[in-house]
A = this chain, B = another copy of it.
């Protein structure tokens, strides 16, 4: 847990934005935002729960399922008056909906006729949540504040940066575990298992947390599709793969991707890897505070364009604390049209993946904007890794 002062500072920044947006009450469904405000990290977001911030109250109010209430009391700074539980018969019921309960509480505490900010495009605020809320609070006004808290999360505190650097160390050990494990005859799931073990064990000094996206390690032709996970197929001579993973420490992430081949890589993969590396290097040389997000992408595009390559997807996005299903913060992206200005202690997943119809290459970095330029949060060679083939092939599954 962070010091109480850090949570109250965060809350003050959020309230300031609420005033700017003309919102009296803020309803938070995004578990990342709940954690940011209170340290609440239990896997209870698969049922509806809500945090309520009002301008008047010095603490957010948590409303959730009965069996989760004691976890809120034990792991957050909220006092018992700010933890309200709904009975279990609200869970996944055809007759009752947890948001009806939330609406009743808002009415009881005198917030039913105010302007209420809601996270309209957040995975955990469903279409039905909104319908029930409107029905339960007919006199309220609603405003979309999907990224209000996310925008406050954009600039990290020093302690947050420290956590992300720890995550960076963890992702290095996990990528090394993958490099060590991949071999002809080894199954994709064995490599995924080695990655997971390293991610969660962490280092001797600090343990790892689960990452908000699972390891993605498509092989050969499937590298054209970056979000494929793994199978239990065995690697064969000539296979190549992209590995996109993160390290996580107390929910803070440092993602990283690399590309590797078993034995010598195909020429086209080698060539594309070199172009991607040159593109990253050119980009890292120029990134600094004051620059616009879209300018970062322009440098990249120009560099790879010299070789006839083009990337149609964004070059990166802000990253930090998160919960599944995404480790991105949904705020700033490196892409045309995003004129957000880079500031110190913003952190990004610089994501130069290129995916063609039959193969792809991903070599990525997690970066921090410094006072004068940019810092990498991991320290790992970017070259395409060609794994030496063992002389003796394992003839079956190995431990």
Query: Which chain B residues border A70 with CB–CB below 8 Å?
Result: 224-225, 355, 357
Smallest Cβ distance from A42 to chain B, in angstroms?
4
Q: How far is the CA of A224 from the CA of B66 in the complex (A)?
A: 11
Q: How far is the CA of A226 from the CA of B333 in the complex (A)?
A: 37
Say yes or no for A41: interface residue by CB 8 A criterion: yes
Say yes or no for A74: interface residue by CB 8 A criterion: yes
Contact in complex: B127, A120 (CB < 8 Å): yes
Contact in complex: A222, B71 (CB < 8 Å): yes
Contact in complex: A193, B201 (CB < 8 Å): yes
Smallest Cβ distance from A199 to chain B, in angstroms?
8
Majority secondary structure, A binding face? loop
Contact in complex: B91, A314 (CB < 8 Å): yes
The 8 Å CB contact of A43, one of B43, B125, B210, B216, is B216
A336: nearest chain-B partner, CB-CB? B89
Say yes or no for A6: interface residue by CB 8 A criterion: no
Query: Which chain B residues border A126 with CB–CB below 8 Å?
Result: 120-123, 125-127
- Which of A255-263, A273-281, A321-329 is the interface stretch? A321-329
Say yes or no for A118: interface residue by CB 8 A criterion: yes
Contact with B along A169-209 (1 / 0, CB 8 A): 00000000000000000011110111011111110101111
Contact with B along A121-139 (1 / 0, CB 8 A): 1111111111100000000
Query: Which chain B residues border A187 with CB–CB below 8 Å?
Result: 207
Contact in complex: B123, A124 (CB < 8 Å): yes
Contact in complex: B231, A43 (CB < 8 Å): no
User: Which residues in chain A, 90-126, are within 8 Å of chain B measured between CB atoms?
Assistant: 91-92, 95, 97, 118, 120-126
Q: How far is the CA of A175 from the CA of B230 in the complex (A)?
A: 22
Query: Which chain B residues border A131 with CB–CB below 8 Å?
Result: 120, 130
Say yes or no for A214: interface residue by CB 8 A criterion: yes
What number of copies of this chain does the assembly contain?
Answer: 2
Say yes or no for A337: interface residue by CB 8 A criterion: yes
The 8 Å CB contact of A68, one of B42, B194, B225, B337, is B225
Q: How far is the CA of A201 from the CA of B215 in the complex (A)?
A: 13
Q: How far is the CA of A228 from the CA of B75 in the complex (A)?
A: 9
Contact in complex: B127, A313 (CB < 8 Å): no
Most chain B beta-carbon contacts within 10 A, residue among A122, A126, A328? A126
Say yes or no for A146: interface residue by CB 8 A criterion: yes
Say yes or no for A15: interface residue by CB 8 A criterion: no
The 8 Å CB contact of A193, one of B196, B325, B396, is B196
Query: Which chain B residues border A95 with CB–CB below 8 Å?
Result: 337
Q: How far is the CA of A333 from the CA of B92 in the complex (A)?
A: 9
With A189-B200, A202-B189, A229-B43 already in contact, the answer to whether A118 and B123 are too (CB < 8 A) is no
Query: Which chain B residues border A218 with CB–CB below 8 Å?
Result: 71
The 8 Å CB contact of A328, one of B92, B202, B204, is B92
Q: How far is the CA of A226 from the CA of B328 in the complex (A)?
A: 27
Contact with B along A303-345 (1 / 0, CB 8 A): 0000000001110010000001110101001011100000000
13 further A-B pairs in the complex, CB-CB below 8 A; given A192-B200, A207-B232? A42-B229, A43-B216, A45-B325, A67-B225, A67-B226, A91-B314, A92-B328, A97-B121, A118-B127, A125-B127, A126-B126, A197-B197, A210-B214
Residues on A facing B (Cβ under 8 Å): 41-46, 66-68, 70-71, 74-75, 87-89, 91-92, 95, 97, 118, 120-131, 144, 146, 187-190, 192-194, 196-202, 204, 206-210, 213-214, 216, 218, 221-222, 224-232, 312-314, 317, 324-326, 328, 330, 333, 335-337, 355, 357, 396-397
Please name 19 pairs of A and B residues whose Cβ atoms are closer than 8 Å in the assembled complex, sorted by A: A42-B225, A42-B228, A43-B214, A46-B326, A70-B225, A70-B355, A70-B357, A71-B222, A71-B227, A87-B312, A88-B335, A91-B313, A92-B330, A120-B126, A121-B129, A128-B146, A187-B207, A189-B207, A325-B325
